[in-house]
């Protein structure tokens, strides 16, 4: 109710001189009072059945308790994403990365075993190299006429036995990479083994395994199977057998290595290139053609060149390989010319005024040190032949040592990388799922304060209905 003021600043009087009373009922709850700046209808009804303040306080307290429980879980587990319900996408990614990290631990173990195996083989090859150098000293001494070649031969036999013992003992966990016992083909396409080195995951989630190929190095003394002259031979051997005569302008002062045949996929020897020993249809018992792993030796005077057939080799590749082997062996270019102008042929011409001996052989499965078994310096000619052979064997042992050293270095580099990769994966997983303990601690304190205030607010709200009792007193 309100008094209605008169138009002249006073109140209108009724017929009895009383003020007229006009009841004004405001039906629009949100109409503002211009003078007082408030809504007449902004009020709440008291009820003993519905306590709105209590419901709001209770809901707020529930939210605070839920956040507090989650924060306590983070602190107790150390993870902000402990299960799929916390964050399904992040949890799924972290589990894939955890699986990869665990797999790389297994790869690290494989690399350690591989490194140890290669280390044993490298040590054996280096020891063999040193022993061969000692044998060479004996052979050089045997070149003189006034020495006891029989005693030198005894020393050479003893050193040969030591080399044989070293090669046969160079095994790790049953695997020997230097005695010719390995026959499998590795990822390099050569005879050897594979060391698991990595797991590669592409963008589609496909996983493939990667390996480091370790080539076996045959330093055994086992003699190989001689191949026929149809497989490889000096096509023309003019003059005296095994002799390149002095250069006199005739036809007997040169030899030409021009006969090469290759095994094919049908069990014969009609191929045009060297195939893998494990290729379908290849018959390794056929000695009329060359195949991967066969060894060719060409000795000119005291210099021997060796070439091992590789998959895909042609006659041109073999001729060039033997030429390079002779040059590496130290052949005197002023005394002998090596010509590969004609495709698939190697012509060696004697430019000196004296005859020179030569020898050529093709073998399959022979050990790199097979010539040690038959080496005999008890005669002058035997000492000369031994000098020609020992250089090639020393180079074979040096090449084996270098090959093992190179692959061992690669394995150790990969081992270091895998370790760093596992650490990086763990760090990435932690960034996604681990809780920030400093932040969690601060949040816990804040939530505990909110919880206490929420409890007090709920208590106050719950006491509101009791004030209604005063209305009935």
DSSP state of 296: E
- What is the C-alpha separation between 261 and 289, in angstroms, rounded? 5
More confident residue, 310 or 15: 310
pLDDT at residue 370 in the model: 83
Is the predicted pLDDT of residue 440 greater than 80, yes or no?
Answer: no
Q: What is the pLDDT of residue 45?
A: 63
Q: In which band, very low, low, confident or very high, does the pLDDT at 37 lie, cut at 50, 70 and 90?
A: very low
As a whole number of angstroms, the distance between CA 307 and CA 430 comes to 55
Conformational region of residue 338, where left means phi above 0, alpha means psi within -120 to 50, and beta covers everything else: beta
pLDDT in tens, 186-199: 888 778 899 998 88
C-alpha–C-alpha distance, residues 253 and 354, integer Å: 10
**pLDDT bracket for residue 176 (50, 70, 90):** very high
Higher pLDDT, 34 or 76: 76
Three-class SS state of 222: coil
Split at pLDDT 50, 70, 90, the class of 17 is very low
CA distances from 446 to 105, 123, 124, 440, 452 (A): 42, 66, 69, 10, 10
Helix (DSSP H) and strand (DSSP E) numbers for the chain: 6, 15
Measured between alpha carbons, how far is 311 from 129 in angstroms, rounded to an integer?
Answer: 28
Q: Which two tokens stand for residue 434?
A: 């681990």
pLDDT band at 201 (very low <50, low <70, confident <90, very high): confident
What element of type H or E holds 243?
Answer: strand 243-244
In the predicted structure, residue 347 carries a pLDDT above the cut 80: yes
Could you tell me the end-to-end alpha-carbon distance of the chain, in angstroms, rounded to an integer? 26
Phi, psi of 132, deg, nearest 5: -65, -35
Over pLDDT 90: what percentage of the chain? 35
**Pair of tokens at residue 301:** 């005077």
> What mean pLDDT is predicted for residues 399-417?
93
- Cα separation, 293 vs 307, in Å, equals 9
So what's the pLDDT on residue 320? Answer: 95
β-bridge pairing 192-201 and 207-215: antiparallel
Q: What is the Cα–Cα distance from 386 to 286, expressed in whole angstroms?
A: 30
pLDDT at res. 330:
87
Q: Does position 15 have pLDDT exceeding 50, yes or no? A: no
Note the pLDDT of residue 175. Answer: 92
Calculate mean pLDDT across residues 125-147.
Answer: 93
**Site of tokens 């109409």:** 31
Strand partners, 305: 298
Which of 151, 193, 197, 50 lies closest to 378, judged by CA?
A: 151
């Amino acid at each position: 109710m309100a008094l209605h003021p008169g138009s002249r600043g006073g109140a209108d009087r009724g017929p009895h001189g009383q003020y007229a009373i006009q009841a004004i009922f405001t039906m629009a709850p949100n109409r503002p009072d211009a003078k007082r700046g408030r809504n007449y209808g902004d009020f709440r009804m008291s009820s003993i059945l519905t306590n709105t303040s209590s419901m709001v306080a209770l809901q707020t307290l529930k939210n605070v308790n839920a956040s507090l429980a989650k924060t306590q879980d983070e602190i107790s587990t150390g993870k902000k994403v402990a299960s799929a319900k916390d964050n399904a996408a992040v949890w799924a990614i972290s589990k894939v990365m955890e699986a990869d990290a665990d797999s790389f631990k297994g790869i690290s173990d494989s690399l350690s075993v591989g490194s140890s195996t290669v280390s044993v083989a490298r040590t054996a090859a280096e020891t063999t190299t040193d022993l061969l150098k000692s044998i060479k000293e004996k052979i050089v001494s045997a070149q003189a006429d006034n020495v006891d070649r029989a005693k030198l031969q005894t020393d050479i036999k003893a050193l040969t036995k030591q080399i044989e013992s070293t090669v046969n003992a160079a095994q790790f966990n049953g695997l020997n990479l230097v005695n010719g016992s390995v026959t499998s083909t590795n990822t390099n396409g050569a005879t050897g083994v594979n060391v698991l080195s990595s797991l590669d995951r592409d963008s589609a989630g496909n996983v493939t395994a990667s390996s480091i190929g370790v080539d076996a190095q045959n330093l055994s003394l086992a003699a190989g199977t001689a191949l026929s002259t149809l497989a490889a031979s000096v096509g023309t051997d003019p003059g005296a057998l095994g002799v390149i005569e002095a250069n006199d302008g005739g036809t007997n002062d040169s030899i030409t290595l021009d006969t090469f045949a290759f095994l094919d996929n049908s069990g014969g020897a009609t191929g045009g290139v060297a195939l893998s020993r494990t290729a379908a249809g290849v018959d390794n018992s056929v000695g009329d053609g060359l195949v991967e792993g066969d060894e060719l030796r060409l000795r000119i005077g005291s210099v021997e060149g060796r070439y091992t057939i590789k998959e895909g080799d042609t006659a041109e590749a073999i001729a060039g390989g033997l030429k390079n082997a002779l040059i590496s062996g130290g052949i005197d270019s002023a005394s002998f010319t090596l010509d590969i102008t004609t495709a698939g042929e190697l012509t060696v011409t004697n430019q000196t005024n004296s005859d020179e001996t030569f020898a050529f052989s093709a073998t399959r499965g022979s050990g790199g040190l097979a010539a040690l078994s038959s080496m005999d310096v008890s005669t002058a000619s035997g000492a000369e032949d031994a000098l020609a052979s020992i250089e090639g064997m020393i180079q074979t042992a040096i090449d084996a040592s270098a090959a093992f050293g190179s692959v061992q270095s690669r394995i150790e580099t990969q081992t270091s990388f895998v370790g760093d990769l596992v650490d990086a994966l763990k760090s990435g997983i932690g960034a996604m799922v681990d809780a920030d303990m400093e932040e969690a601690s601060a949040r816990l304190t804040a939530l505990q304060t909110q919880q206490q205030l929420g409890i007090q607010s709920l208590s106050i709200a719950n006491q509101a209905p009791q004030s209604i009792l005063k209305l009935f007193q």
